[in-house]
Structure 1
């Protein structure tokens, strides 16, 4: 009876953490794909406020990914932002102009090279958000932590090049939500590792040896 109860509790705990991980991945996906502002940092296209904007500017400039694919990633967030700001839906043709990506190839890459942690973290965050819909993993967590470290290093080790507050590096409170969701997306994996370690059989002395000691 005790073993069956333990198994039932283990199954319930497994389902609980599995569902929590899925919900965290979905929330993180919407934060990234709908371009909820997480930070503000100078980038190749001007001022970027989301990992998707940082990633898109690099993908357009390097021509690694076809332009329609990048526009497909940007369009859901552009629709939401357009409806919130002026109740209009932006056109597909003007999407690159909205994000100041039309002349991105001629823009200097020095700005992004000075913030490699934010750039790499943004790549991981976008990839983790997409992959997390299929299978929760650690990519979102690594990306979010890299972005946060890059922003912290920017604020602590570097002096601001401009006194204009609109051009200064800034972290929005929504970054905390992204961090929590990225951590919860791998919570189930951690619990599984702990349970597997606790379930390892403990070596017991042989019955014959214990009898010999009694004699």
Structure 2
């Protein structure tokens, strides 16, 4: 049985990992470089936003609210300016995304689906930790490995080849560590089943 101190320490590490993962995703720290419908995407939010805008899943203000924190951080680090809310889609090349073929995303379904789970897991993980972040990150990693190492799909343009930043390792570690340990499930014992007594054979009717 795990000690209360060990459980508290593990859960504390899980909370810290969830917050670090949230910062990496929401502030759009580059994790990889892969071709998407808006051009070249370097974060799960960019992949998710391009797909949401193309399919009109959510209203545009929701997508802008998702992109704006990372855009502010990027603007402050590059030229010390805060980007305009109205020009946000132009910055991410999302204005004419409906005219782009969906074949690009169909070749990278693992990265696309993993990005969805990664963004959702980062948002939900701040309130309640779960396995969504880990599952999404592992799915993205597998998609990148399949394209980068196995060469599927094959890319001849060096500017469009897949690239993984070292921060991807940090994101993967945080995603795995964000899963909390539940001592109740670990120490739950199967309820003792009553021992069934053998049935007594019915007495034979007496012969008269």
TM-score range, shorter chain: 0.7 to 0.9
- State the match for 2:160 in structure 1: 167
Determine the C-alpha separation between the residues in 2 that align with 1:47 and 1:202: 55
The question of 1:158 aligning with 2:152 is answered yes
How far is the alpha carbon of 1:157 from its aligned partner?
A: 3.6
Structure 2 residue runs of 5 or longer lacking an equivalent are: 193-208
How far is the alpha carbon of 1:106 from its aligned partner?
A: 1.2
Determine the C-alpha separation between the residues in 1 that align with 2:7 and 2:184: 8
Structure 1 residue runs of 5 or longer lacking an equivalent are: 1-5, 204-215
Deviation by residue 1:85-106 (Cα, 9 ceiling, x = unmatched): 1111100000000000000111
Larger relative helix fraction: 1
TM-score computed with the length of structure 2 as normaliser: 0.86
Determine the C-alpha separation between the residues in 1 that align with 2:64 and 2:87: 10
Runs of 4+ deviating beyond 3 Å? 191-194, 200-203
How far is the alpha carbon of 1:188 from its aligned partner?
A: 2.0
Determine the C-alpha separation between the residues in 1 that align with 2:105 and 2:157: 20
Match of 2:102 among 106, 109, 128: 109
**Cα distance change on mapping 1:202 and 1:72 into 2, 3 Å:** closer
TM-score computed with the length of structure 1 as normaliser: 0.83
- State the match for 1:68 in structure 2: 61
Question: Are the aligned partners of 2:130 and 2:180 in contact in 1 as well (CA < 8 Å)?
Answer: no
Structure with bigger gyration radius: 2
The question of 1:124 aligning with 2:121 is answered no
**Cα distance change on mapping 1:123 and 1:202 into 2, 3 Å:** closer
Match of 2:7 among 10, 14, 17: 14
Deviation by residue 1:72-126 (Cα, 9 ceiling, x = unmatched): 0100000000010111110000000000000011111100010000000000000
